[in-house]
Amino acid sequence: AAAAEVDIRHESVETADGVDIEVAANIGTLADLGPAVDRGADGVGLFRTEFLFLDRESPPDEDEQYEAYVKALESFEDGRVVVRTLDIGGDKPVPYLDLPDEENPFLGERGIRRSLGPDADLFETQVRALLRAAASADGANLSVMLPLVSTVEELRAGRERFESVAADLDSEGVENELPEFGIMVETPAAAFMADRFAPHVDFFSIGTNDLAQYVMAAERGNERVSDLGDYRQPAVLRAIDATVSATEGEDCWVGMCGEMAGDPDLTELLVGLGLDELSMSAVTVPQVKAAVAETDTADARELAERVLQADTKAEVAEILTLDQ
Ligand code: PEP
Ligand code: MG
């Protein structure tokens, strides 16, 4: 039996019919890097950088952030490290930032909205650190993405920040490089407008935790509405399908970094929907890699087509033969 077992660590995985699927890990702090490497992640699909800002009295400076990003890159020699710029607000408070008291923080000033607004200085520091880290990468590739984007203007403004900060660094003689650039698709607006975003980015990463919350108007973490906020709801699946379909003919890969990506019972469906990369908590990386290796993409596409015909979550679950 031992001979039949494949050690999937540090081996990229492909489907039974030979399609590469990247299986990456989500990290919050540098302490998450060890488990990500040990479990055989191909890279980091989501570095939640707000964790660098939590549990302290003041924000990390440019050098501290630079070191953190370089550490992540060094952990994955040939892999990709996707760093998400600050996603503060909503459920992620930071005491020294003096966040506004909002009635509906999930619908308020969070993510890119703060980075282009009250946290513009913090954003600039982070962008400087990222541009420097991208230049230092030797082997691994740095990618950056913006959280909670809902308009093309936000994407443009975010991108312009990277370009203008790069020009500043150039004029200071500081080595820097523009990283691969993407956005998270985690608002219905981004899913509806995905065809307009796609030409301006290198990739999308679908954040199903927020996407399910906003598509279904069901607060994440609220058990009273957890059945509604489930990523197996047909409306959520349609939003994912619309996002992937919008990239057809565009040079734009699509990943997923919400919890759904780490559910091995859904791997075949996600491959069938056309995801190129799945990023999850390190603990499920081996299971998802094993599920990818068993998947045939033609069967997976057929499964996805059937699932997209479902009227209800119960029907989705039935098709996927899941316990409900
Ligand atoms: C998501 O919303 O799915 C996501 C991955 O981001 P976070 O959970 O950090 O909001
Ligand atoms: Mg999110």
Q: Which atom of ligand 1 is nearest to the CA of 213?
A: 2
User: Are 132 and 174 contacting, i.e. CB atoms less than 8 angstroms apart?
Assistant: yes
Ligand 1 contact, 205 CB (< 6 A): no
What contacts 232, CB < 8 A, 6 or more positions away? 266, 313, 316, 317, 320, 322
The pLDDT of residue 78: 85
- DSSP label at residue 178: P
Strands 20-27 and 44-48: parallel
Give the Å distance between the CA of 208 and the centre of ligand 1.
7
Ligand 1 contact, 186 CB (< 6 A): yes
AA identity, residue 260: M
User: Are 123 and 161 contacting, i.e. CB atoms less than 8 angstroms apart?
Assistant: yes
Backbone angles phi, psi at 265, to 5 degrees: -70, -15
How many angstroms from the chain centroid is the CA of residue 272?
A: 19
Rounded to whole angstroms, the Cα distance separating 140 from 41 reads 13
Ligand 1 contact, 258 CB (< 6 A): yes
Structure tokens at 293: 């290796």
What digits encode the pLDDT tens for the residues 154-211? 999 999 999 999 999 999 999 999 999 999 999 999 999 999 999 999 999 999 999 9
CA distances 288 to 162, 205, 230, Å, are 34, 17, 19
Nearest to 304 by CA among 262, 255, 261, 268: 268
Backbone angles phi, psi at 257, to 5 degrees: -130, 10
Scanning 4-136, the segments in alpha helix (DSSP H) are 33-38, 62-75, 112-115, 120-136
Closest residue by Cα to atom 8, ligand 1, is: 209
The pLDDT of residue 91: 65
The pLDDT of residue 321: 86
Mutate which of 113, 114, 210, 215 for ligand 1? The one with the most ligand atoms within 8 Å of its CB, which is 210
Rounded to whole angstroms, the Cα distance separating 152 from 131 reads 22
Interior angle at CA 85, CA 81 and CA 89, nearest 5:
135
Question: Would you say how long the chain is, in residues?
Answer: 324
Give the Å distance between the CA of 2 and the centre of ligand 2.
40
Rounded to whole angstroms, the Cα distance separating 244 from 256 reads 10
Mutate which of 54, 184, 219 for ligand 1? The one with the most ligand atoms within 8 Å of its CB, which is 184
What residues of the chain score a pLDDT lower than 50? 1-6, 323-324
The pLDDT of residue 323: 43
CA distances 84 to 89, 245, 248, 292, 311, Å, are 14, 23, 24, 25, 34
Rounded to whole angstroms, the Cα distance separating 57 from 51 reads 13
Give the Å distance between the CA of 51 and the centre of ligand 1.
13
How many angstroms from the chain centroid is the CA of residue 116?
A: 20
Q: Which atom of ligand 1 is nearest to the CA of 186?
A: 2
The pLDDT of residue 89: 80
Ligand 1 contact, 281 CB (< 6 A): no
What interface predicted TM-score (ipTM) does this complex get?
A: 0.99
Ligand 1 contact, 50 CB (< 6 A): no
